[in-house]
Structure 1
Amino acid sequence: MTGPVYRTILLFDIEKYGSHDDVEQAFLRRMLYDVVDATLMAADVDETARLRADRGDSVMELIDTQVPVPTLVKTLLAETPALLHNKNRLMATGAQMRLRIVLSSGYVAVDELNGWVGSDLNHACRLLDANPLRNALKQREGDCVLCVSDGVYQGVVRHGPLGVRPKEFQQITVETKEGPTVAWLHGLAREGTHRSEEPNGPDGVQEPAVASPGLPPVNLNGASFGGSYVAGDQHGVSGGQVRGDVNLGGTERGERG
């Protein structure tokens, strides 16, 4: 196992992937790769500065810290939604893809089986699977939703780099197996924009809409915005098959497979 090194952690997950048949899933995976690759290209991330793990319905990227995080945030806010829109507008409704996205950072090691190990990675995966992020995407008219870790928010977003507006991010607290953790969700859904095909939540409970910008926080299936508590047992992701030839123990070089 390589020693843990500090990396920017970027996760993408396809909404309702399991509801599609095998042919549709294969198509969605190709779309996911296209969107992720185009996003990182727009952010000027060289192929030698990234390492990929494929989880089927999701993709995890470890990105070298030499890549500016403000550029990644701005790209995820502007370019990624545009990329998704351009693809989805040509697709039938059943073939369209919607994404949950998490941007975090921390120490990650790669073991002898090419699995990724690290509590910071587990934390990012907990955020990706958290109910507030899932419910926010259901209630968005757009094709994706972005959540950043508290570290990324405090270190980058709150300073308002060009193209990033801190007031567009809402603080959430997620209760995970390791305890409560703070994160920041970009944007708020407006009432009446719930896109879930099922009127009720996973437990059969009607999910109230999230507050519109400028309105008081509204509870969302145990989750509330503006620094309140979020209930739920979240499950993360670890391991995965690596796509790439990047040395996590030092300077990255090589070609992605």
Structure 2
Amino acid sequence: MAAWPDFYPCTCIAVDAQGYGSNNDRRQSEIQHDLPRLLDRAARRAGLDRAQWQIQNKGDEQLAVRPVDGKEPRLVDDYIRHLASELREFNALRVPAARMRLRAVIHQGLVELADNGLAGTAVVATARLLNARPLYEALAAYPEADLVLLLSDDVFRSMVVGRHTTLLPEDFTRVAVEVKEYEATAWLRVPALGAPAVSSHQPGTTETGRSVDPAPGEPAAVRPGPAVAGGSDGAGGSDGAGGSDGAGGSDGADISNQYGADQISVTNIAGSVDARGAVFGFGSSGG
């Protein structure tokens, strides 16, 4: 196990299992048995040796600290990817109630090996990030996900924005974290989605609704979905039939003749029909 004198630049990796306290004694024991083994296998597959890390265990939670040594991109990228894979394989053999779902956090800063554990504001910040509300909300919003990840702003900018991993800035959602006295910007990712998670804490506001000015060059945190064809408040437009500013279009232009495949309705009718006042269109099955 690696050791270092005084405060030293380190990477902190923390994980916590969902719903541990609601499990019975045997299930809690199983989680404590399985969790370190899953973490060890993920590290080995990523080419990392957890035997060289300082590890602080706490039941369903584990904090690991490793000195900065140039392998940080592998930790952010490969280790998390393999951990998601290990969890997926592990949970595939279990009933839903026995699944293991993890919150994970990666932060960096100065850490000291103290007499009763690990000391430093980086350790405290890692603990606060692990309890951030956006992580819990992501697990609730995406029940198919086995792992949700939060990177501190420092890690995100140095590893992801710096292009030292295969991840892209747009793979993450910017969230505001407020836990006790700790307030910070962090970056959320749900590996199972392959796309940014949508957080209820939108970029530009904190959990309490205060304004946050995005830094120049930051990626858009949540990609907007496709517009609903025809408008949001009525057939053909948002403020009335045909457009947002009046019938026929948003600026008064006639758009009634524009083709929209998603607006076509096909009805097969058998028997006689009173179609007075109706408009019919005909076409072949081949277009």
Give me the TM-score of the superposition, normalised by structure 2: 0.65
Q: Which has the higher contact order (CA 8 A, sep 6+)?
A: 1
Q: Which runs of 4+ in 1 moved over 6 A?
A: none
Gaps of 5+ in 1: 191-211, 233-257
In the TM superposition, 1:132-171 aligns within 5 A as 132-140=134-142, 141-171=144-174
In the TM superposition, 1:187-226 aligns within 5 A as 187=190, 220=200, 224-226=201-203
Would you say 1:106 and 2:98 are equivalent positions?
no
Task: Say which of 199, 206, 209 aligns to 1:229.
Answer: 206
Gaps of 5+ in 2: 210-287
Which residue number in structure 2 is paired with residue 17 of structure 1? 20
Per-residue deviation, 1:28: 1.1
1:157-183 deviation per Cα after TM superposition (whole angstroms, max 9, x unaligned): 113334212201111111233342111
Distance between the aligned counterparts of 1:93 and 1:188, measured in 2?
19
Distance between the aligned counterparts of 1:143 and 1:58, measured in 2?
15
Identity of aligned residues (%): 28
Task: Say which of 54, 57, 79 aligns to 1:54.
Answer: 57
Question: What is the total number of aligned residue pairs between the two structures?
Answer: 204
In the TM superposition, 1:64-83 aligns within 5 A as 64-83=67-86
Mean Cα displacement is larger for which, 147-156 or 1-10?
Answer: 1-10
Q: CA-atom RMSD, angstroms? A: 2.5
- Residue identity in the other structure for 2:41: A
Distance between the aligned counterparts of 2:145 and 2:192, measured in 1?
10
1:110-168 deviation per Cα after TM superposition (whole angstroms, max 9, x unaligned): 2223x211111111110100111111111122101000000001111113334212201
- Residue identity in the other structure for 1:149: S
Per-residue deviation, 1:81: 1.1
Task: Say which of 32, 36, 58 aligns to 1:33.
Answer: 36
Task: Say which of 116, 128, 131 aligns to 2:130.
Answer: 128
- Residue identity in the other structure for 2:66: I
Asked if structure 1 preserves the Cα contact closer than 8 Å seen for 2:159 and 2:165, the reply is no
Would you say 1:118 and 2:120 are equivalent positions?
yes
Q: Secondary structure at the match of 2:136?
A: helix
